[in-house]
């Protein structure tokens, strides 16, 4: 497209024509540009990789290969809503993080969570003939099943890190066990998610240590964040009728608590912090009872989709 004469940018110019994103399987433009170089070692060879995607689940649903029971659908809704509301919160950090590197790091975590949300919601929707977007954009507040922790505001970076710390240690224990679910789709989604969440644990633990042992100010902010959010830990581990009914398909939340406590405590001990003694909040998210924050989250997330009901984007 750009008649550049002698240099290797012709290959580059390909990208102008939009040879773009599907570069996965073939050496992409820039690569070609440097073919003059020797050997295949490269730090910029990109591929889409190979993993379970929400689109794969949608396809299975469409083909009628999978259809969850209403109970499983209801359970998937909980997990999907947790991840969706967290992704919505985390997305706000992109362009506002303490350092550019952290913009990218939090962006990656948000994208992982959004991916899990899409997979769970796509699968959940199949129980009622709904798509992920119908569930995300056209349910009302009481129909959301996320726990209160996920809707807590970002606060400062310390609050966000504490929320990540609790969430990722909880999700890791949950997904680790869910890979053994008798429901093959839940198990498959969990198998993809558990690896990503494992990294989220590491990210949050690294920051807990740095904020706790960094400066007086950072320690103070971290402790404040822990006191602010620890009341919402209890809700994550409450069993109820649904999880009892599901048996081997789900994981009893209470069964995660011991490992969660042990592993978070290891980090907190290293950070020279005691688990805050604060009363547990009542919760109610699994029954559709949310905090005051939820309405605003949904108003913002849903506004455009609801302005054009039935539209395709």
Considering the complex, state which of residue 143 and residue 239 has its C-beta at the smaller distance from another protein: 143
**How far is the C-alpha of 136 from the C-alpha of 121, rounded, in Å?**
8
**How far is the C-alpha of 99 from the C-alpha of 102, rounded, in Å?**
5
- Least Å distance, CB 4 to another protein, is 7
Our finding on whether 178 is near another protein (CB under 8 A) is: no
Considering the complex, state which of residue 172 and residue 237 has its C-beta at the smaller distance from another protein: 172
Of 146-154, 162-170, 203-211, 261-269, the window that binds another protein (rule: CB under 8 A) is: 203-211
Considering the complex, state which of residue 227 and residue 306 has its C-beta at the smaller distance from another protein: 306
Residues 6+ apart with CB under 8 A from 287: none
Closest to 119 in 3D by CA, of 191, 203, 199:
191
Of 177-185, 209-217, 262-270, 287-295, the window that binds another protein (rule: CB under 8 A) is: 209-217
Closest to 131 in 3D by CA, of 52, 51, 55, 242:
55
Our finding on whether 142 is near another protein (CB under 8 A) is: no
Of 2-10, 143-151, 237-245, 257-265, the window that binds another protein (rule: CB under 8 A) is: 2-10
**How far is the C-alpha of 167 from the C-alpha of 171, rounded, in Å?**
6
Considering the complex, state which of residue 163 and residue 256 has its C-beta at the smaller distance from another protein: 163
Residues 6+ apart with CB under 8 A from 42: 31, 34
Q: How many residues bind another protein (CB under 8 A)?
A: 90
- Least Å distance, CB 68 to another protein, is 19
- Least Å distance, CB 183 to another protein, is 22
Pick out residues in 63-102 that bind another protein (CB under 8 A).
84, 87-88, 91-92, 94-102
Contact 273, 230 (CB under 8 A): no
- Least Å distance, CB 107 to another protein, is 3
- Residue 39 DSSP one-character state: S
**How far is the C-alpha of 76 from the C-alpha of 189, rounded, in Å?**
10
Contact 95, 269 (CB under 8 A): no
- Least Å distance, CB 304 to another protein, is 5
Q: How is residue 45 written in tokens?
A: 């060879």
Considering the complex, state which of residue 216 and residue 292 has its C-beta at the smaller distance from another protein: 216
Pick out residues in 14-73 that bind another protein (CB under 8 A).
15-16, 18-21, 23, 28-31, 33-34, 36-49, 54
Considering the complex, state which of residue 129 and residue 310 has its C-beta at the smaller distance from another protein: 310
Pick out residues in 226-285 that bind another protein (CB under 8 A).
none
Our finding on whether 185 is near another protein (CB under 8 A) is: no
Which residue in 144, 150, 157, 170 binds another protein (CB under 8 A)?
157
**Number of continuous H segments (helices) and E segments (strands) in the chain:** 14, 0
Nearest-10 crossing angle of helices 293-307, 70-91: 100
Q: How is residue 160 written in tokens?
A: 């966000």
- Is residue 190 within a helix (H) or strand (E), and if so which, with residue range? helix 184-213
Binding mask 106-125 for another protein (x = CB under 8 A): -xx-xx--xx-xx--x----
What region does 3 belong to: left with phi over 0, alpha with psi -120 to 50, or beta? beta
């Amino acid at each position: 497209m750009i008649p550049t004469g002698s240099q290797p940018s012709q290959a580059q110019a390909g990208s102008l024509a939009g040879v773009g994103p599907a570069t996965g399987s073939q050496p992409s433009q820039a690569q070609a540009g440097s073919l003059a170089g020797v050997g295949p070692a490269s730090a910029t060879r990109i591929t889409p990789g190979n993993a379970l995607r929400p689109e794969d689940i949608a396809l299975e649903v469409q083909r009628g290969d999978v259809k969850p029971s209403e109970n499983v659908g209801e359970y998937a809704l909980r997990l999907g809503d947790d991840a969706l509301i967290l992704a919505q919160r985390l997305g706000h950090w992109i362009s506002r993080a303490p350092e550019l590197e952290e913009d990218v790091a939090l962006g990656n975590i948000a994208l992982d969570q959004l991916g899990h949300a899409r997979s769970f919601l796509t699968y959940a929707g199949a129980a009622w003939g709904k798509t992920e977007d119908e569930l995300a954009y056209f349910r009302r507040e009481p129909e959301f099943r996320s726990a209160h922790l996920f809707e807590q505001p970002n606060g400062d970076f310390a609050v966000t890190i504490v929320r990540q710390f609790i969430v990722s240690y909880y999700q890791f224990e949950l997904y680790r066990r869910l890979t053994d679910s008798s429901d093959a789709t839940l198990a498959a989604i969990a198998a993809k998610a558990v690896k990503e969440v494992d990294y989220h644990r590491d990210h949050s633990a690294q920051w807990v240590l740095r904020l706790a042992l960094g400066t007086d100010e950072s320690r103070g902010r971290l402790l404040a964040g822990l006191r602010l959010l620890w009341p919402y830990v209890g809700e994550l581990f409450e069993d109820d009728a649904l999880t009892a009914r599901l048996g081997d398909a789900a994981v009893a939340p209470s069964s995660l608590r011991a490992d969660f406590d042990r592993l978070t405590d290891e980090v907190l001990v290293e950070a020279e912090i005691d688990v805050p003694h604060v009363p547990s909040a009542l919760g109610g998210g699994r029954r559709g009872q949310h905090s005051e924050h939820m309405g605003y989250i949904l108003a913002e997330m849903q506004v455009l989709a609801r302005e054009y009901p039935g539209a395709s984007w």
